[in-house]
């Protein structure tokens, strides 16, 4: 099958390309420009229009049909809602998109709606406000660490607080990312917590699998309140208190670069993606607890 992935220019795109190839499928990467390593690693590479293009989805549809793409694994935040809205439409064209329903994307791409969701279902999370009430400030919409800062001085915080920002209380503890895979019935196949280590610009440069039962149970409670499908990336803290309270920070309803560790600790998820799209039941494998991952840069030279 021809499987398309996005954001080929990302430094962490290679693991998905290789996972697709190792599964015996045809990897098609994409980005808005071809000067990237993925263009020389994937089996094929497509130039996608920019998100601001008025003909964005018409052009994408033509590209997918002309290239006979079978499956799309979305990963670019700005495109997630568009893919989710068109999931059934593309299915009628013979193109399967592995993504959660629109209401899930709508909630978890908005940090304020995410907090409202957490509050509604009594899911532990840091106190959050639409005003400069708390010292930790970050964009209401966005990804990674871009635009995030701490301002403890109240008067300065009021000056710096921007439109479409939220403020949060500062929490302390150990930061975890949880790699999750959900089947076509919204049931968890894998919930794999990993400690984030050597974080740079919101990306962890190393990590270790820690199968913490408290984290796994809290993620199950979260999952029971919504309708996840496919790969989901969750960020949380385990606080340094007697109860070891879990505090959810955000949910990314998509594949993520650090999931390379989740794949290695369990199995190649690409065949499972195909099974989910075919509504097949999946039997999970044992997790390799304490497995560590380290990242490094690798050069590619092209004449």
Residue range 215-231, pLDDT digits in tens: 999 999 999 999 999 99
- Counting the structural domains of the chain, the total is 3
Does 188 share its domain with 287?
Answer: yes
pLDDT surpasses 70 at 200: no
Q: In what order do the strands lie in the sheet with 26-31?
A: 44-47, 26-31, 2-5, 71-73, 96-97
What are the respective helix, strand and coil percentages of the chain, to the nearest 5?
Answer: 30, 25, 45
Segment 170-197 shows an average pLDDT of 95
The answer to whether position 147 is within a domain reads yes
pLDDT surpasses 90 at 298: no
What is the residue range of 43's domain?
2-99
pLDDT surpasses 80 at 145: no
| Mean pLDDT across the chain | 95
| 99 phi, psi to nearest 5 deg | -160, 155
Residue with tokens 């930061």: 175
What does the DSSP 8-state code read for residue 284?
A: P
pLDDT surpasses 70 at 204: no
Does 153 share its domain with 242?
Answer: no
**Tokens at residue 15, please?**
């693991």
Contact 121, 115 (CB under 8 A): no
pLDDT surpasses 90 at 242: no
- Per DSSP bridges, beta strands 136-139 and 165-168 are antiparallel
Q: What percent of the chain stands above pLDDT 90? A: 88
Does 23 share its domain with 83?
Answer: yes
Nearest to 268 by CA among 1, 16, 11: 16
pLDDT surpasses 80 at 202: no
The answer to whether position 118 is within a domain reads no
pLDDT band with cut points at 50, 70 and 90 for residue 69 = very high
Does 203 share its domain with 253?
Answer: yes
Nearest to 12 by CA among 202, 191, 292: 202
Residue 271 CB coordination number (10 Å)? 15
* Radius of gyration, alpha carbons of the chain: 19
Does 182 share its domain with 137?
Answer: no
Does 33 share its domain with 47?
Answer: yes
Contact 41, 56 (CB under 8 A): no
pLDDT surpasses 90 at 150: yes
């Amino acid at each position: 099958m021809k499987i398309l992935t996005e954001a080929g220019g990302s430094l962490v795109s290679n693991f998905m390309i290789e996972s697709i190839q190792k599964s015996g499928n045809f990897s098609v990467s994409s980005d808005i420009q071809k000067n990237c390593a993925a263009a020389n690693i994937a089996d094929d590479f497509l130039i996608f229009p920019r998100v601001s293009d008025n003909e964005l989805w018409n052009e994408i549809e033509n590209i997918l049909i002309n290239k006979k793409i079978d499956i799309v694994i979305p990963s670019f935040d700005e495109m997630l809602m568009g893919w989710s809205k068109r999931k059934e439409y593309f299915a009628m064209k013979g193109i399967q998109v592995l993504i959660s329903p629109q209401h899930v994307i709508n909630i978890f791409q908005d940090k304020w709606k995410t907090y409202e969701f957490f509050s509604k279902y009594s899911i532990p999370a840091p106190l959050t406000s639409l005003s400069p009430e708390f010292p930790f400030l970050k964009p209401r919409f966005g990804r990674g660490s871009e635009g995030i800062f701490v301002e403890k001085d109240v008067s300065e915080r009021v000056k710096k607080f921007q439109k479409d920002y939220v403020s949060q209380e500062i929490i302390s503890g150990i930061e975890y990312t949880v790699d999750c895979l959900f089947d076509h019935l919204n049931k968890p196949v894998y919930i794999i917590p990993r400690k984030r280590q050597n974080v740079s610009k919101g990306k962890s440069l190393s990590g270790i699998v820690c199968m913490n039962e408290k984290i796994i149970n809290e993620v199950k409670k979260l999952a029971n309140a919504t309708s996840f499908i496919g790969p989901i990336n969750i960020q949380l803290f385990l606080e340094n208190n007697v109860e070891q309270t879990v505090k959810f920070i955000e949910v990314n309803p998509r594949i993520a670069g650090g999931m390379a560790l989740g794949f290695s600790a369990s199995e190649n998820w690409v065949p499972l993606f195909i099974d989910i799209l075919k509504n097949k039941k999946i039997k999970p494998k044992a997790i390799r607890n304490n497995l560590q991952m380290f990242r490094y840069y690798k050069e590619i030279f092209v004449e």
